[in-house]
């Protein structure tokens, strides 16, 4: 009994349907191996919190990922399973997310007895910045950014709602805005109290100079800038945050295993090699950022 064209067609369909499953398993294995190697190198518990925009299959509708209760459950379990004498390394790539989930993770991090390091290869905004504040050390790429943690009520910053009340006579403000202003004031106080708790953390040692704590809270929580304002490594260091510039090469290799899902034509393309063989493929750790040279000299 021989094979016909129809049989070959069905075999082709079977192999085509199994290919995505095989590719997914291969990627999962590569991620696990890279994570295990990084843990062995650092002698720590490594936790990844990576949120990328994803697309629904077939329809291609973009879905933004953010910190959720499910994330907090998984991270709390990972922290709970970490022995007290083992450091924690948290790799962050997130636009932020739910306040409840973020605060749960941050409290668990500051309660861990050993050193907690946060690595930011690209950005950790809003709730991601709050998680970074819970760490004893924030290790960033030279071009990575953090963001303000001022509370948002719906589509409006809490600070902007309070400014309306301050600028207009109370008789000209509607009841809904007054209610929003009351909530805005409470939200800012709650965030400031929590950020103060994070910055005063002294286990295993004091991470932020006490004289810098209030100025950091003022800069991050009062809405002096927009919520998507990028806080560079230079600005974060000037604030007094424990920032170090220069990620281990393993971080970039891990991020390569969590690519942005492609939907059709790629938006960015390049040949992945240096133009000059003497230049390294990736930046090497170089400690804290150096001061900007004086432009007048």
Q: Mean of the per-residue pLDDT values for the chain?
A: 87
Tokens of 150: 């001022």
Q: Which residue has the tokens 């668990």?
A: 108
Compare 258 and 267 and report the one with higher pLDDT: 258
Tokens of 209: 């100079």
Whether 173 contacts 154, CB under 8 Å? no
How far CA 98 is from CA of 68, 130, 146, 190, 260, in Å, comes to: 6, 11, 17, 14, 22
- pTM for the model stands at 0.82
Q: Report pLDDT digits (tens) over 133-156.
A: 999 999 999 999 999 999 999 889
- The Cβ of residue 70 has, within 10 Å, a number of other Cβ atoms equal to 9
Q: Report pLDDT digits (tens) over 18-42.
A: 777 777 788 889 989 999 999 999 9
| Assigned CATH topology for domain 43-256 | 2-enoyl-CoA Hydratase; Chain A, domain 1 (3.90.226)
CA distance 30 to 24: 10
CA distance 179 to 172: 14
Question: In the chain, what percentage of residues exceed pLDDT 90?
Answer: 68
Does position 120 have pLDDT exceeding 50, yes or no?
A: yes
- Per DSSP, the three-state class of 196 is helix
Tokens of 211: 């004289």
Conformational region of residue 92, where left means phi above 0, alpha means psi within -120 to 50, and beta covers everything else: beta
DSSP state of 168: S
């Amino acid at each position: 009994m021989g094979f016909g064209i129809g049989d070959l067609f069905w075999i082709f369909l079977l192999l085509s349907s199994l290919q995505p499953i095989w590719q997914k398993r291969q990627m999962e294995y590569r991620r696990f191996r890279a994570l295990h190697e990084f843990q062995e190198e650092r002698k720590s518990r490594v936790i990844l919190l990576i949120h990328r925009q994803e697309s629904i299959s077939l329809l291609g509708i973009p879905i933004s990922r953010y910190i959720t209760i499910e994330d907090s459950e998984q991270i709390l379990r990972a922290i709970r399973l970490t022995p007290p004498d083992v450091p924690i390394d948290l790799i962050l790539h997130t636009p932020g997310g739910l306040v409840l989930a973020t605060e749960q993770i941050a409290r668990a991090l500051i309660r861990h007895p050993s050193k907690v390091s946060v690595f930011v290869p690209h950005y950790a905004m809003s709730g991601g910045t709050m998680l970074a504040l819970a760490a004893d050390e924030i290790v960033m790429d030279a071009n990575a950014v953090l963001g303000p943690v001022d509370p948002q009520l719906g589509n409006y910053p809490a600070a902007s709602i309070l400014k309306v009340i301050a600028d207009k006579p109370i008789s000209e403000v509607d009841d809904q805005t007054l209610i929003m202003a009351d909530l805005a004031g409470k939200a800012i106080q709650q965030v400031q109290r929590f950020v103060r708790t994070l910055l005063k953390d002294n286990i295993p040692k004091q991470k932020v100079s006490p004289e810098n704590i209030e100025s950091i809270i003022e800069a991050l929580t009062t809405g002096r800038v927009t919520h998507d304002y990028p806080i560079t490594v230079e600005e974060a260091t000037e604030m007094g945050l424990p920032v170090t510039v220069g990620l281990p090469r393993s971080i970039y290799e891990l991020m390569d295993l969590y690519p942005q899902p492609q939907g059709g034509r790629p938006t960015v393309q390049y040949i992945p090699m240096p133009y000059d063989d003497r230049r390294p493929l990736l930046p090497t750790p170089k400690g804290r950022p150096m001061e900007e040279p004086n432009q007048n000299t």
